[in-house]
Amino acid sequence: MLWLLLFAVEDRAVVEFEVEPTISLEVLTKFVDFGEIDPGKDVEKRGAIRLRVKANTDWVLSFKVPEEFRDETGKIIPLDIMEWKLPDGEYRPLRKDENFDIAKGGPTEEKLITLDLKIRVGWEIGAGRFTVPFIFVLRAND
């Protein structure tokens, strides 16, 4: 029996796999309508914009607003009539092309993020239906 053990040979195989970093952003709120606003009054929408992040790596979520408010005739209204905040934060004014980091984290199956919005329209604004795009960017944070 001992003689057979001396001639035993051992070898091994290695199993390997790689998981690429994966991040996913879903904007759950595609359109926010403040409706008709009375001049001189603040209108607040809590949870106005909702987003969902999925990631298997560290990540950072930011947004920017690339232009001023415009109506269908091309009339421009400055962004500073609107402010934004996270649910537990303080309101901050929008600024054209400024990147606002709003959330960061590590691997997550699902992270929901909401933004509150507040708008104050003065009498000088005049009548019109105004829109502005928000651009959200989710990036891996190496």
Q: What is the pLDDT along the chain (142 residues), one digit of tens a residue?
A: 555 556 778 899 999 999 899 999 999 999 999 888 888 889 999 999 999 999 999 999 999 999 999 988 988 889 989 999 999 999 999 999 999 999 999 999 999 999 999 998 888 887 888 999 999 999 998 7
3-state per-residue secondary structure call for the chain:
CHHHHHCCCCCCCCCCCCCCCCEEEEECCCCCCCCCCCCCCEEEEEEEEEEEEEECCCEEEEEEECCCEECCCCCEECHHHEEEECCCCCCEECCECCCEEEEEECCEEEEEEEEEEEEECCHHHCCCCCECCCEEEEEECC
d(CA 84, CA 98): 13
d(CA 65, CA 98): 7
Per-residue pLDDT at 3: 52
The CATH label, of 2.60.40.1090, 2.120.10.30, 1.20.1250.20, 1.10.1660.10, for the domain at 23-140 is 2.60.40.1090
Per-residue pLDDT at 4: 52
Please compute Rg for the chain using Cα positions.
26
Q: Are 128 and 73 in contact (CB under 8 A)?
A: yes
Would you say the pTM of this structure is higher than 0.75?
Answer: yes
3-state per-residue secondary structure call for 90-108:
CCEECCECCCEEEEEECCE
For residue 45, the one-letter residue type is K
